[in-house]
């Protein structure tokens, strides 16, 4: 039962319809408390101009999506490191609560999952070192195991927190219910993360059936995730931030009037979250 | 590098092409060491007749697929319990190494995942009690987390072994690489299972991209799973059984000449497993 000021809009939710400027205006119009831009939309608007507009609108920036993809070139290259440092700079400029990391999966043609995980940890260490200097927090987003090969080889909260334990201060997790709702260890791992390391909390729903691996996420209430239960666990773990709505939905929500999408988010936040 | 006598054919791999009788003959013709029938094919042939034919062919029965679906009626009903007891009887009659359990997901209209897991554990306890009397081993198959809602709410080896720890003797796990290859804890959980509880080992491959949630599994070598690495872990854990090939493939292997499918299995077993 969330009021609109407890909700943040991840721009992916209306990425087919709105520019970042339109997202900012939409958040204001619907009374949302925050926004989380993707880098493509941020760069399109211009980082400085976007930062000013977000501040003027009084929106909390719950995250910047996204850094990571450390395995994109098979090994940790200067280009990959540099791109992540630019992401840190952008996160700093817009005052994002954290830089969300989708870490990358197996390199092309590789079957070496332990190797990919080692590359990812080296990459995170490099980005974290730079991010500490810029005052930016780094949030690993564990992705659903169905993305282990092609998007992210960090697949559970426990695995992400093990990395955080090894890397130290300034790094935590972005917990997206879509990726972790199935995990029997979820409650315990939220508690283990605690308020300092539970840096972002993303919501949507898991549809049954799910028709596409990437772009068939559901609006809250349309699927099977017990959102109030999980929100309770996050609160017990000390999370007090906004709930960020991130819905990839090629056949449904990306085709609707974006004001209808935001109105629906506000209604569902009040009634099913 | 497996010789054909180390391979078992799960009948799902050629389910669109062959009856169980044809599967048994096919295994003999290609020199495979074992077979694992599904119940529909077993009942179609007749359990007694099938048991005789499998014995006459000298095939090991690496499992019977499948019991479970404890949540099918929302709660644990006598009908669900009885069906699982019949599955135990069938497993006993064909001399199966284990009865493989796909435990069921959320009941229709439910979001109560902890509740579903409790129903499943009660159901497993009931089946196990009966199976002990019949000398049948029960193997929980953890399914990939992408099936948590609609097929099985036991989703990791660790979760399955926690259940085994609570239920005691006679119950273990069926480890299918398709479901668990992504798990950072897999090696440790195989070791934890050990030879007594690692009751079955299923192989295929994870394709990139995967185009269907259920029926787009790959032939060994066509995907990204490091099969020799995982086979090594299973061997280190004490597993000495056959590797059972189970491939759901509506658009590819189910459309091919089944003798070509088995010949390919034999070739891949020798070269990529």
Tell me the chain A residues in contact with residue B146 when contact means C-beta distances shorter than 8 Å: 144-146, 210
CA distance B173 to chain A (A): 17
Per-residue burial over B138-147, b = 16 or more CB atoms within 10 Å of its CB, e = otherwise: bbbbbbbbbb
pLDDT tens digits, one per residue of B207-222? 999 999 999 999 999 9
Contact (CB, 8 A) for B214 and B199 = no
**Which of B121, B149, B217 is most worth mutating to test chain A (most A CB atoms within 10 A of its CB)?**
B149
- Residue ranges and CATH numbers for the domains of chain B are 4-271 (3.20.20.150)
Of A159, A182, A209, the CB nearest to B148: A182
**pLDDT mean over A218-246:** 98
- The pLDDT value recorded for residue A29 is 98
pLDDT above 90 for B246: yes
Where do the H-state alpha helices sit in chain A?
A: 20-30, 39-45, 47-56, 78-93, 113-134, 157-167, 177-180, 186-197, 227-236, 258-271
pLDDT above 90 for B1: no
DSSP type of residue A203: E
Residue B66: which of B35, B93, B101, B96 has the closest Cα?
A: B101
pLDDT tens digits, one per residue of A125-138? 999 999 999 999 99
pLDDT tens digits, one per residue of A61-77? 999 999 999 999 999 99
Rounded CA gap, B35 and B51, in Å?
11
What's chain B's average pLDDT?
Answer: 98
**pLDDT mean over B85-100:** 98
pLDDT above 90 for B195: yes
- The pLDDT value recorded for residue A1 is 86
Contact (CB, 8 A) for A174 and A199 = yes
DSSP state string for chain B:
---GGGEEEEGGGGTTT--HHHHHHHHHHHT--EEE-BHHHHHHH-HHHHHHHHHHTT-EE--EEEEE-TTTTSS--HHHHHHHHHHHHHHHHTT-S-EEEE-B-PPTT---HHHHHHHHHHHHHHHHHHHHHHT--EEE-PPPGGGTTTTBS--SHHHHHHHHHHH-TTEEEEEEHHHHTT-TTHHHHHHHHHHHHEEEEEE-B--SS---SSSBPBPTTSSS--HHHHHHHHHHTT--SPEEE---BTTTGGGS-HHHHHHHHHHHHHHT-
**pLDDT mean over A98-104:** 98
Of A145, A153, A206, the CB nearest to B149: A206
**Which of B145, B165, B181 is most worth mutating to test chain A (most A CB atoms within 10 A of its CB)?**
B145
- The pLDDT value recorded for residue A178 is 98
Residue B247: which of B62, B12, B20, B5 has the closest Cα?
A: B12
Contact residues, chain A to chain B, C-beta under 8 Å: 106, 110-113, 117, 144-146, 148-150, 153, 155-156, 159, 181-184, 206, 208-210, 213, 224-226
SS3 content of chain A, % helix, strand, coil (to 5): 50, 15, 35
Predicted-assembly ipTM surpassing the 0.95 threshold: yes
Q: What own/partner pairs with CB < 8 Å and gap ≥ 24 does B143-147 have?
A: B143/B102, B143/B179, B144/A145, B144/A146, B144/B178, B144/B179, B144/B180, B145/A144, B145/A145, B145/A146, B145/A182, B145/A183, B146/A144, B146/A145, B146/A146, B146/A210, B146/B213, B147/B105, B147/B213
- The pLDDT value recorded for residue A89 is 98
pLDDT above 90 for B192: yes
pLDDT above 90 for A57: yes
Tell if the CB–CB gap between A224 and B156 is shorter than 8 Å: no
- The pLDDT value recorded for residue A74 is 93
3-state secondary structure of A26: helix
DSSP type of residue A13: G
Measuring CA to CA, how many Å separate A60 from each of A95, A156, B267? 8, 27, 58
pLDDT tens digits, one per residue of A190-216? 999 999 999 999 999 999 999 999 999
Peptide bond before residue B64 is cis, with ω within 30 degrees of 0: no
Tell if the CB–CB gap between A213 and B208 is shorter than 8 Å: no
**Which of A146, A157, A205, A211 is most worth mutating to test chain B (most B CB atoms within 10 A of its CB)?**
A146
Of B106, B159, B210, the CB nearest to A213: B210
pLDDT tens digits, one per residue of B41-65? 999 999 999 999 999 999 999 999 9
- The pLDDT value recorded for residue A33 is 98
């Amino acid at each position: 039962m969330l009021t609109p000021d407890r909700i943040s809009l991840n721009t992916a939710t209306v990425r087919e319809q709105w520019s970042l400027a339109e997202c900012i205006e939409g958040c204001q119009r619907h009374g949302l408390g925050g926004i989380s831009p993707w880098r493509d939309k941020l760069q399109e608007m211009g980082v400085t101009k976007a930062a000013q507009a977000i501040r003027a609108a009084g929106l909390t920036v719950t995250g910047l999506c996204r850094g990571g993809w450390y395995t994109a070139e098979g090994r940790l290259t200067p280009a990959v490191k540099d791109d992540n440092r630019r992401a840190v700079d952008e996160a700093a400029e817009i005052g994002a609560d954290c830089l969300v990391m989708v870490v990358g999966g197996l390199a092309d043609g590789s079957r070496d999952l332990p190797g990919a995980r080692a590359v990812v940890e080296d990459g995170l260490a490099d980005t974290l070192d730079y991010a500490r200097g810029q005052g930016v927090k780094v949030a690993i987003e564990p992705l659903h195991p169905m993305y282990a090969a092609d998007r992210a080889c960090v697949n559970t909260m426990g695995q992400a927190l093990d990395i955080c334990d090894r890397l130290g201060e300034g790094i935590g997790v972005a917990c997206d219910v879509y990726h972790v709702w199935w995990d029997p260890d979820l409650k315990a791992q939220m508690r283990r993360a605690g308020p300092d390391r539970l840096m972002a909390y993303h919501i949507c729903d898991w549809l049954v059936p799910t028709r596409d691996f990437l772009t068939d996420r559901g609006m809250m209430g349309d699927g099977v995730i017990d959102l109030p239960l999980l929100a309770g666990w996050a609160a017990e773990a000390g999370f007090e931030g906004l709930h960020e709505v991130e819905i990839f939905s090629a056949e449904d929500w990306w085709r609707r009037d974006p004001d209808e999408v935001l109105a629906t988010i506000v209604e569902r936040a009040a009634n099913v979250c």
